[in-house]
Amino acid sequence: MEIISSRRNYNVRVVRELLKSAEYRRQTDMFAVEGDHLCGELSRCTDIEYFLYTEKAGKKYPETVKRAVEKAHYSAVITEELSEYISDTKTPQGLFAAAERFGVEISENADRIVVLDNVQDPKNVGTIIRTAEALGFDGVIFINGCADKFSPKTLRASMGSVFRMPSFFPKDVNALKERLAGFEIYAAMLDKSAKRLGEVKFTGKTAVVIGNEGAGVSRETAEICGEKLYIPIRKAESLNAAAAAAIILWEISDKNQRGED
């Protein structure tokens, strides 16, 4: 196995840049992950272009390293110094993998979808994707420039759910409306006409829109929503977008499981 110690190595520079730069990810149509869990999840879902790991990581995470090496087109051992140089975290585990961007299309038979409308915090995006998968939603739609689905922070927050959760990126609201034909579309927003969560009956195909952390659901997206809903809170001024999404998604999931209509 090749051992790399130079920061000038091409593969080292590629993986590091993929972790650091959103623009580079867009240009190359690739992304990178680090750590035992995400490298392991990635190797279960797709081929790996580059896999780099330290000797220490090879001993500590032998199963992940073995699987990733088998799935990688190129793999090499790197020094601990290079691991710290490449890493996007304070305490790197010494495993790095890069792959081409990929995704799963939302099925035509989907009946529960969450729409992210200009959600900017990658941690919120990743957490909502993870929550949607956990609660049995069928897909996530991204519109109006959400945080990068493949940024390191999004990937870490999703704990690998990004790799499995079906997604769709409509070019505009008209494309979103067309994709959600036949769905009851709800916008999570404070509005005089909004209904209190808990009093809303979710029947049939359901899509809920979670808006930007500061500005909320955009005007053009709100216009295609049939109803608005809000979460009643007592003391805090508002809820974090990921926390609000978790409450709403659970309510939709719970009512569907109980067969309420």
Q: Are residues 43 and 9 in the same domain?
A: yes
Please indicate, yes or no, if residue 65 is contained in any of the structural domains. yes
With bands split at pLDDT 50, 70 and 90, how would you rate the model's confidence at 256? Answer: low
Is residue 39 scored above 90 in pLDDT?
Answer: yes
Q: Are residues 78 and 132 in the same domain?
A: no
Backbone φ, ψ for residue 188 (5° rounding): -85, 105
Q: Are residues 94 and 116 in the same domain?
A: no
Spatial neighbors of 10 by CB under 8 A, at least 6 apart, are none
What's the pLDDT tens digit per position in 202-246?
888 999 999 998 889 999 999 999 999 988 888 777 788 999 999
Assign residue 75 the CATH number of its domain: 3.30.1330.30
Positive or negative, the CA dihedral 178, 160, 248, 243 is negative
Share of the chain above pLDDT 90, in %: 82
How far is C-alpha 187 from the chain's CA centre? 20
Confidence at residue 258, expressed as pLDDT on a 0 to 100 scale: 47
Distance in angstroms (rounded) separating the CA atoms of residues 241 and 188: 10
Q: What is the average pLDDT across 124-131?
A: 97
What's the pLDDT tens digit per position in 12-31?
999 999 999 999 999 999 99
- Among the candidates 100, 132, 163, a domain finishes at 100
Is residue 114 scored above 80 in pLDDT?
Answer: yes
What's the total number of domains in the chain?
2
Confidence at residue 199, expressed as pLDDT on a 0 to 100 scale: 86
- Check if the beta carbon of residue 65 is closer than 8 Å to that of residue 95: yes
- Check if the beta carbon of residue 141 is closer than 8 Å to that of residue 149: no
Domain that holds residue 160: 112-258
Please indicate, yes or no, if residue 107 is contained in any of the structural domains. no
Q: Are residues 155 and 71 in the same domain?
A: no
* Closest to 170 (Cα-Cα) out of 105, 125, 229, 110: 105
What's the pLDDT tens digit per position in 147-173?
999 999 999 999 999 999 999 999 999
Q: Are residues 180 and 200 in the same domain?
A: yes
Assign residue 194 the CATH number of its domain: 3.40.1280.10
